[in-house]
Every structure is written in C-alpha cells, then in structure tokens.
Structure 1
C-alpha cells in the first residue's frame, strides 16, 4: 500500500494534512530528509479536560522497511511536561530500538493506527501521578542525562565497578589526563581500585582520593536541574548526612567532594550524583572581620545558592557482574587462564579467550614481536620490537581494565624451574609454542607433579595442513608425552615430504620459518574453540585430541605428501580421538 492510500485511509478517522517540506526548518523537529510527514490533530482527555493534541508522524523514505517516528507538537508538550517516554526532541517512544520490530506490510493501516493509539495513550498516562513516578524511576537515566537549560551541566564522566549494595562507596579522580574521557571512579572493593590504578598509571594518568557523600535521592520526576540551594535540601533530608557534609566542607575543597546516590527504582546498580565548582570568592567582612567565607557558606549564600547550578554526574557501570549480564545474560563463574607462547597461534587464541568469563590471565613468552610476523600475529605494527607479553597485556587491559594480567618475559622452562607455583595458581595452562621438546618438558613436569593443572597443547603443521589441540588431564601426562613423541594424527607425511617444501629460509642462518595462512589459522581456532572453551570453564575430565584438517588440494599443489591419516580425512573436517 502506498503512503497516499494510507493517508486517505487515516483521514477517514483523523484530521490529517501532509506537511510541506518547506515547513520542516521552522518546526525544528529532526524529520527525515526526503521522507513524508503528516500532521494529525486529535482530542484526548487530560486532567479532566479536553485537550487538542497535535502529532507529527514522520515516514522515512525507506518505509515500510524502516519505522516511522511520532512527535508531539512542542508547545503542547511544554504545557504538559514532563511525561515518561517522551524525549527531549518531542519524539514519543513507541518501539524499543533494541528490539527487532518488523512492520506488518500486509496490514499497514492497522500498524499506523496502533502508533497513534500508543502515542495518545503515553500522553494520557502522563496524567496519572503514580504511573509517572513508576515509569520515571525505570527511565531515570534518560531524564537525568537531559540538559534542562543553557546553564545546566550534565556530565557522563564517571565509572564504577560496584555490585555490592552494602559496602561504603569510595572514589578517586584521574589527574593529568582523563582515563578514556572519564574523570572519576567509584568503588567498594580495594582490589578493583588496584586494577584501575595500575591501568591508569600505564596510561600516564594519576589518581587522587575524593570525598564521597552517599545520600538517598527521592526525587523521581524531572526536571533534575538543581541549584546549590536545592542540592542542600536533598542532603538535609538526612540530618546525619547533612552534618557529615558540613564537616567535609571544612576539610576538603568543593572540587574534592562527590555527592552520589543509587537509583533504587531498578534492579541493576545505577549511580548518579553531582559536585560543586570551587569558586574564587574574595574575602569579605563577616562579623566585623575580613575573611573568606567557608565552603558551606558559599554553597548556602542567598545569591549563589539560588542561582548557581550543580554539575550533575552519571557513572557508567563497569562491574564484571553488569558486563556479564550485558553480554551473556547471566553472571558466569570466573576462571583463570595461563597462556604460554604468544606467537601466531597463542596471540590469536587470546582474541577468542578475552570474551570468556576469565578474571585472571597469565602470559609467558620471552620474545619480542618482529616486523615479519605482524601479518599473522594478533599484534600489529605498533607492537613491533616490544615484548609480546607486554603488548598483549595492554591489549587485554584495554579490552577490560578490570582484568588481572600477570606476565613473565621468560622461557617457560625457567618458570617451571623457579616459579612452578605461578603456573599452578591458574585453573588451566594453555601452551602454543609449537616446539616438541618444550611440550615434552611441560608434560614431564606434569607427570612428576611439579605442575598440577589441566593443560592444553596447540600446534599447527606447515601451510596449516592441520591444527592440533590436545586436552590433557594431568593423570594422563605420560600417555600424552608418548603420543607427542610418535604423533599419529599428522596430515603431512614427514618421511615423504621434502623439508624444503615446508621450511622456508629467507637467506641467513636462523631466518627459516614454516609458512601458513592467517585465514586458515582463524578457521582452525574457530573450529576448535568450543572445546577449548569447555576446558577453560569446566576443566578436563577426559584427555582428548582434536585434529582440524586444512585444504588438501592446496597442500598437494605445494608438493606436500599426505600421511595415510591425512589421505583418509576430508578438507576442513574436525576429528576427535581419545588420547588413552
């Protein structure tokens, strides 16, 4: 159905007109360019009286493949506001943008009528005080974050990691430079603070302690623009908090005090607050003496108190609990993972692991990144000539500064000899060094009990003929070591394939390498990651080996000879075998 037909249908029940495009600028709504806007005039009952309601329905040119937007006439809304689900630009929230709403193309007249009915109901419900308060509590952030006048200031420059409702809130401010444009950090756990401070230091950012006054903020209905005097009224609702605040004003500058509160109208932890500007007030005569007014006297002075506005603050939630809920929908049990070998396989595996519920990462690798490896290593050119563990630690912390990352710029054998407890402090040990002797050394330590945790070995054959993953229960270390020495799941026959076909030398000694495509590497890791994920989250009860087979036609074209095992498998297949 065309818009012309829809308009004719709606005109039978509503007073409508098509708005001329030349009127858009004067109306000052964010109408869609090249779209069509209808003005719809109707009547509703509001506060016991008939109210003439003017709405604008904006059809984008992509309609019916893009939702139209409904607006209330600005002057009418000014006389009614504030109403839940009506935005600053006078648009009415009919559909949740997070939902995949599909327009019913076979019943467009009913769809348009639904939009209008829903819009009128939202306006009419604004007459219900109890409904308004309930909805505003649920939508508190949307209305707290509005700017209510030219002088009003609202800043989303704070983060917090608070999930415990019972502990005292503390805060630090970032100095020298902001941290990802954040200026304040609220916390209740000292370990969280240590992580944030370590991350801030790495970013050349210092922290200073702030004074925090947590209050109960009971106002639910906007506007939330606040003068100094009004803010003191909110603090004064609790006399003990009021006395604490007056004392803070004596010992701290106004810029060092944060007043914060929790939104009790939602299940998640939402934190908001405000602070005050430290004003340069000159000394004046008070009780016959010339002195500078106290901070509290400045805030409560009749002139400034009634005219100066607080700086309202919003704190984004960085707690692991919130991030898990936002990601998987549930709070998952966390694990700790140690990764040895940050070459092409190990570094790219980190990309997959970073999204698991892992609260502590360990990294072991003694090498720096060479420029020749940036094509297939996760690390790019900015990491060249830096220790791989250092750059990957930064990568993990940039992804989430609440991660704990411990690293060793040493060979894994040295760590086993000197610090085996470091390795055993993690839930699982993932090894991607691609060196048989190193793998045997690790398995020997596992067999003898020096190492005690489940272990995963990964390596790839040249040209990624195969990718191998061994999931090892420590009790099966000896059997696994025998398998590694005489590995029977290789796709390329080492006896029949010339070393010159698989080991390329660029010129000088120590410049040789085994080639393989980063694309095939991604395919391999994506295929085996579900099993690695299971091992990380649930441990390894049964030792198994997974073999991912590469592109056999490509291997043959490169002159490689396949093993009997390789000949029997299909390209890009995944084979599972027991290690025992």
Structure 2
C-alpha cells in the first residue's frame, strides 16, 4: 500500500483496508450490487443503522479509483420505495452525499472519507424523510425534472415576467442530440440555427409561462395534475395558458421558468394529442375518443380537455438547455454583459483578429469589421483563423469562425480599404460605440486621426500596434471630445515618443520582393498582450476611462536585452510584462484639433 508508483497495487491495498474498516466498524456485509458494476465499482457493502425508531439501510460502493473519488451511496428497496422522493436522491436510487465539483475526498485518509460519507448519508435520509431539508429540492430541480424527461430542447427565449407566445423550430444539426429550439421569434431562431450549421425542417407555436413555483417533487404527470398546479400555485397565468391551448392543436409545448436565487430554472412539458380508448356500454366495444364530448370535431376547450375528457393523459416532461447569451455568459463568465454595444475593428490581421476574439469572449455581440486583405498561408501562424480559411477575405474568415462559436453574434464585414469606405460612407464608424484601429499602417492611422480632429469621425478610436519581437505594444484611446489625439504622441519626424525599443525600425524583416517587410513576433506574446489589453478595453466599455490615454505594454525586456536589442532609456529598468497608462494631457495641449 505504500508503493503508490504502482496504481493497481495502491488501489488494491486501499480496497483491502477499507473492506476491513467497513466490516469491523459498521458490521457491513459485502453484496453483489450489479446495478453499479458497469460504472467502475469493484466492491459494494450493505450497512444498516437504527435512526430514531427506524431501521435504515444503504449500499456503499467503492470505485476502482477510491480514495481519489467519493464512494457511491445507493438506497435499496424496500427503503427507497418508502421514502422517495427526498432531496438529493434520484430515480436510480443514488444518494448525492457530496457535490464532487466543490468537495474533494482526502485521499490521505480513506477510512475518514468513508466515515464522513456514511454519516452524511444517514443524516440526509433522516432529514429528507422528515421534511427538514425540503428547501433543498429547488437546488436539484433540474435533476428531478430531468429524471422523467422524454426529450430535450434548446432555448433562446428571454425570461420575462409575463406569459407569451413563442416559436418552436425543428431542425437537424449533425453534431447535436437536440433537434428543437424555442425562441422569441422565428427570425431570431432561424438566424441562430443557420449560423450554427443547422437545417431548418418545421415551425410551430409554443407558450412560455413564468411560474412562481413548481412545488416539490413528485412533479405532476397528468393533464389534470398540471392544471391543478397552475390553479393552486400560479392562478394569475391560468387564463392565458388555457387561451393558448384553445387556439393551438396538440401536441403543444409549454416552456416555464421558476425563480432560483438571482437566476431562473427552465423546463418544459408537452400536452399530447387528445386521444384515448373508451369502452362503450353496448357490448363493451372499444372505440377511440379524439374530441370533447358535446363538441364538434376540431373544436377545443382546454379546461374541459385537461379537467374532464382527457384528464388522465400523461404529459411529457422535457429538459430545456438554455443557449441564450445571458445564460451562457452567466454560466461561462462573470455574468456582466455589454448591453447592445457595437464595436468596430479596422484591420483583421494577427493583432486585430485576437482583439476581436477577446471582445467576443467578453460578450460583445455586434461588430463592424473592415479589412481589404485575404487570408494567406503566411498569416496563419499568428492569426486566429487557420489553413481551412486561407483564400477567404479576412473579414469573412473571422465572421465564420465567430458565428460558429457564438451563433448570436451579428457581424457586418467590408473587404475594402477603410479610407475608400469613409470616402463613400463617411458616417460608418459613427455607428459604433468605439472602433479599434489595428492596421499597422501609419499613413492611414494619421489620416483617421485628422478625420477625427476635423469632426468627420465623432466616436472614439483606439489605435493598437506592436513593436518587433513584442518588446512592447501600445494602444492609444482617443475620444474627440477630450484633450489629446493620436498625433500628440509623435514628434515632427513622425517618430513615436514612447517606443520600447530604442529604434524599432532596425528589427523589421523583409522577404524577397517589394513591399514584403513585416514585423517579427510570436502569437504567444500577442495573446499575452491582448489579455492585458482586454482590461483596458473593459475600462473603455464600462465608461471608467475619463481621459484620452496611452496604454503601453512591456514584454520580456530581459530577453530583448539578452538578444542584443537596445531598450529605450525610459524603459531601461522597467519590469518584464508590466503595463503603463499615461493620460495624453501629460503630452501637452493638443495642437492638432481644428480650430
């Protein structure tokens, strides 16, 4: 057991030790619990304990890799049938004792782990059976609802406080198990699905209900049960619910939300076709009833359907997976989302493409992209797009990549020179909250600065560029309503005053051929720069930045010095991978603005 270099010997030794502990300490009896054998279980033990006046029994099953994972606790019949449902117990008779996502077993003390699991299991059974922990049901709502679910659908709907009619779209997507999605509008759903590579097959109407509660398990199963639940616990939505059923054929899907902490739990159910077998008084013949008694065929009265004629029809429960932007960024981010913000990016090369990716990851979902170039093989080592996109315009390659990842993103792309676009459509950048200029072309940047100073461009620009070998990189934020502009950072010879390298032009490289000069740097350093730049961009988006500012990122200066690259005096003793932010006001009053 001491030799942990051989995992098989180690796990076998632990198993032998815990078997002795369970049989000695708990008088456990080894059982062959076949239900769990296929899940990596190597031994199972029955443990019986008297709690108050009740005799409780659990099965503790040891996985092959215990103590690196928790043992599995199940409740066998007849106890399971007597107490189910209780919080933390599922239909497979498994009792969730500890959440493995937030709790971890102490592998140095296997017997201690067993003791904790066993004691907690009996506590959960006692509390669940007595109703002491019934409030825990809401935390496991999706698990309980999902146990009975017959299917799953995706959801793009916005959670609202009022019932509403929604659309449900049936589709095919070769990589997904789901084939239906609910959405606030057909257009929204079509747009999302097409960008996700799905083929649309059919449309129907569905209904959304904002419930105050679904109560505790067991959840309703029949038409009459669901109607009763709504009448008793959510009476304000009964009428719109019945009105919708009156006007729509079966099967009918109903999506609901239930408040949970600062969010919502979402599920769905489906009322089946109104059809049941009826035994007639005459000779006991069986016929199929498909409509309401006393009503013409095709006429509907939802209340009588659910309460009288088809009250015993089983309702299908449906799992709902939210794929709306709010849910995705709450689950996979910090929950803070930009509200309807459009960002322009001029230049979709190596720097620009990574800036775009960073903005999309932060939740920006509206982009204006401008770049006249086509993606080439020589670009892909530093670009976010790869070989499969070579030959496409860079704006189209990035658009395809982003919408496949985030189907809700809206992108307008222009394969044009930005000055040509501005010549024909002078207001295009003014439709953006601000725009990133990542061209690496000084003449164009200088012209954009003049257009900003002259008032043609009235929205902020952020000029971004990198120095050779990523010794440093810079971003200049310029709001035309504030002091300072891009030109304030350059001397009369157009030399940048804050370069990290003493003379960056010495380190540009050139391949054979005219106009083939390029700046050498690695994608690893670009990503590191963009990571730090993202916090600066967040300050801009959130309105925290109150002055026009120069953002300077310092790379691995020690490495540059070791390779004989001279660092400018102002940065000689600066720290590797550090950041400086300097207001443009420190460079004096801007002399470039039109008087």
Please give the range of the TM-score, normalised by the shorter of the 2 chains: 0.7 to 0.9
The CA deviation at 1:234 is 4.5
Post-superposition CA distance 1:224-253 (Å, at most 9, x none): 462345445546668886665565455432
Q: 1:92 aligns with which of 70, 90, 95?
A: 95
- Equivalent position of 2:488 in the other structure: 480
- Equivalent position of 1:14 in the other structure: 26
Q: Which shifted more, 320-329 or 433-442?
A: 320-329
- Equivalent position of 1:346 in the other structure: 352
- 2:560–2:566 contact (8 Å) kept in structure 1: no
- Distance 1:473-1:302 versus aligned 2 partners, 3 A rule: closer
Counterpart CA distance in 2 for 1:481 and 1:567 is 16
- Which runs of structure 2 are paired with 1:472-551 in the superposition (5 Å)? 472-474=478-480, 475-477=483-485, 479-480=487-488, 482=490, 485-490=494-499, 497=506, 502-505=509-512, 513-537=518-542, 538-539=544-545, 541-549=547-555
The CA deviation at 1:122 is 1.1
- Distance 1:343-1:169 versus aligned 2 partners, 3 A rule: same
- Distance 1:471-1:562 versus aligned 2 partners, 3 A rule: same
- Equivalent position of 1:150 in the other structure: none
Provide the TM-score with structure 1 as the length reference. 0.80
Counterpart CA distance in 2 for 1:554 and 1:471 is 27
Instruction: Report SS of the residue matched to 1:386.
Output: coil
Counterpart CA distance in 1 for 2:165 and 2:245 is 17
- 1:365–1:388 contact (8 Å) kept in structure 2: yes
The CA deviation at 1:72 is 1.7
**How many residues matched?**
552
- Distance 1:103-1:123 versus aligned 2 partners, 3 A rule: same
- Equivalent position of 1:173 in the other structure: 168
- 2:223–2:307 contact (8 Å) kept in structure 1: no
- 1:161–1:320 contact (8 Å) kept in structure 2: no
Post-superposition CA distance 1:14-46 (Å, at most 9, x none): 221344xxx243xx125763744332122234x
- Which runs of structure 2 are paired with 1:59-458 in the superposition (5 Å)? 59-103=62-106, 105=108, 109-129=111-131, 131-132=133-134, 134-147=135-148, 153-165=149-161, 167-177=162-172, 181=178, 183-187=180-184, 195-202=188-195, 203=197, 205-206=199-200, 208=203, 210-212=205-207, 214=209, 216=211, 219-224=214-219, 226-234=221-229, 248-249=244-245, 251-255=247-251, 257-264=252-259, 266-278=261-273, 292=297, 294=299, 300=305, 305=310, 308-329=313-334, 331=336, 334=339, 335-458=341-464
Question: What's the C-alpha RMSD, in Å, of the aligned pairs?
Answer: 4.2
- 1:547–1:574 contact (8 Å) kept in structure 2: yes
- 1:55–1:72 contact (8 Å) kept in structure 2: yes
- 1:215–1:235 contact (8 Å) kept in structure 2: no
Counterpart CA distance in 1 for 2:260 and 2:577 is 52
Mind listing any 5+ residue stretches in structure 2 that lack a counterpart?
A: 2-13, 277-286, 588-595
Counterpart CA distance in 2 for 1:289 and 1:164 is 38
Instruction: Report SS of the residue matched to 1:162.
Output: coil
- Equivalent position of 2:282 in the other structure: none
- 1:271–1:315 contact (8 Å) kept in structure 2: yes
Counterpart CA distance in 2 for 1:41 and 1:452 is 76
- Distance 1:217-1:514 versus aligned 2 partners, 3 A rule: closer
Indicate yes or no: 2:54 matched with 1:50: yes
- Distance 1:168-1:421 versus aligned 2 partners, 3 A rule: farther
Instruction: Report SS of the residue matched to 2:85.
Output: coil
- 1:64–1:103 contact (8 Å) kept in structure 2: yes
The CA deviation at 1:440 is 0.6
Counterpart CA distance in 1 for 2:529 and 2:204 is 48
- Which runs of structure 2 are paired with 1:454-465 in the superposition (5 Å)? 454-465=460-471
- 2:170–2:179 contact (8 Å) kept in structure 1: no
Counterpart CA distance in 2 for 1:261 and 1:137 is 15
Provide the TM-score with structure 2 as the length reference. 0.78
The CA deviation at 1:361 is 2.9
Post-superposition CA distance 1:159-199 (Å, at most 9, x none): 1442442x343311224436963513244xx7xx7654433
Q: Which shifted more, 361-370 or 260-269?
A: 260-269
Counterpart CA distance in 2 for 1:309 and 1:361 is 47
The CA deviation at 1:299 is 9.3
Instruction: Report SS of the residue matched to 2:86.
Output: coil
- 2:58–2:73 contact (8 Å) kept in structure 1: yes
The CA deviation at 1:88 is 2.8
Instruction: Report SS of the residue matched to 1:122.
Output: helix
Post-superposition CA distance 1:250-277 (Å, at most 9, x none): 543214x332333246542222221234
Counterpart CA distance in 2 for 1:301 and 1:526 is 56
